Amino acid sequence: MVFSSMLFVFLFLTLNLLSQIYFQDVKKKNIAMLVFSLVFYSWSGPRYLILLAGMTFICWMGALLISSTPIGKVQKRFMILTVALCLIILGVFKYTGFFLTNIQGIFGVPKVIPQIVLPIGISFYTFQLISYVVDVYRGEVRPQRKYWMLLLYASLFHQCIAGPIVRYQDVAEDIRKRKVNLNEISAGISRFTVGLAKKAVLANGCAAVADSLLSTNVTELAAMPALGIFLGGAAFTLQIYLDFSAYSDMAIGMGLMCGFHYKENFNYPYISDSIREFWRRWHISLSTFFRDYVYIPLGGNRCDRNRQIFNLFVVWGLTGLWHGASWNFVIWGLYFGVLLCLERYVLTDTLPKIPRPVRHVVVMLLVILSWLIFKFTDLSLLGTALKGLFGLNGNGFTGVNVALAFKNNVYFLIFCVIAVTPLGKYLRLMLKNLSKGSVPLYWINAAWEVVHPILFVILSAMALAGDSYNPFLYFQF
């Protein structure tokens, strides 16, 4: 079950919200939320619910042992052991096939590689539980004494399978004694419906354009002209932001409706004029996790330049690997590591002298290239796509099929480009501010507040009912 499905919107979410309204006691609300979260997670495979519950138990026990042990080497060993167990479990399920395939390619063994199904959302809840254990070790949070309450934190269906990566300290108070008011319910409904429409209408539309131009058939991809590869890459660039940010929007919105306050995860990254700014705005919870739990413990910026560069490449190699068990993700991560090192150590004095619009265009071209690397897990397909992008496949710059694809989708893509900027947000704030001094604008603003969630739900339902194409990019995580 995914957020962008009729079953989820009109049945599951509705029943969940009714349960939160019906129960007045926070403990009963939490029990109901836990039941719904476990049902939601087990929908795609009940057996993996045991894995989620088991990993949560390991971290629950680990945190209790850490907190009950005097500060010292023993406490640190408990922390390392707990984190190591989590990473081993993640590694077995996510990376066994990847590593064995590479070993087989070099040494010819093993003859048979086991096919292990990736449990949905395992990367997200593993990182959340690791952050909880480490924060208990650091003394930043008190350990949760009740196992089922920690299981609620790990399994919250709002963000368990698609993020954001929520730290325990950010929701501990909400779990313990949350309150809901009408303003937050209204804001949550608005945020959820915007995210739903962003996914069902815009992201899925961009996905259709991208997949039509970036074929997974090597012969068809090799025949695509350079402009077709670029247009497909641009469409995928729009798709991946609209898709990822839509799930964060829906998670934040559902959280507000129930009294949970999740931090922002995307902040219009495509308006950036540097790669550093891009990563301050893109998948903020993931960037923050690697900064606080990998980069800073490695020494961060407190060491010499060579060590800083080493730390950066470790972080970005792991960031790439976190996204998927394939070499293209590692290349994608290291690609950003190189760009960040160039900005920080080579182009420090040069970049500020370049006009901002020029910097922005360069950043977006580099980002589009990065998403092409991200898209193709098959390295032969990736090589074909990159050759085609630079016109090295011998198919020229454009063609009839590319012109037709552009003509059929130009207005839709222009709208999507506008949608990934803060223009809509600024216009909304402008209308809200102007409505304070104008009766007609006040009523227009009030009507929009009531109408737009209904409008977005209707548009989303029409898109979902009329088209079975509803890709879920987070399956690989």
Catalytic residues: 323
Q: What is the Cα gyration radius of the chain?
A: 23
Rounded distance between C-alpha atoms, residue 460 and residue 322, angstroms: 31
- Residue 394 is classified by DSSP as S
Rounded distance between C-alpha atoms, residue 232 and residue 402, angstroms: 9
Rounded distance between C-alpha atoms, residue 2 and residue 444, angstroms: 34
- Residue 119 is classified by DSSP as P
Structure-token match 């501010």, residue found: 433
Please check whether residue 192 is in contact with residue 250, taking contact to mean a CB–CB distance below 8 angstroms: yes
- CB under 8 Å to 464, separation ≥6 — which residues? 4, 5, 6, 200, 470
Structure-token match 């009531």, residue found: 450
Give, for 365, the enclosing helix (H) or strand (E).
helix 356-375
What stretches of 108-167 show up as alpha helix (H) in DSSP? 122-138, 147-155
Structure-token match 């730290």, residue found: 167
- CB under 8 Å to 235, separation ≥6 — which residues? 206, 207, 209, 210, 213, 409, 413
What would the two tokens of residue 28 be?
């009963």
Give, for 414, the enclosing helix (H) or strand (E).
helix 400-419
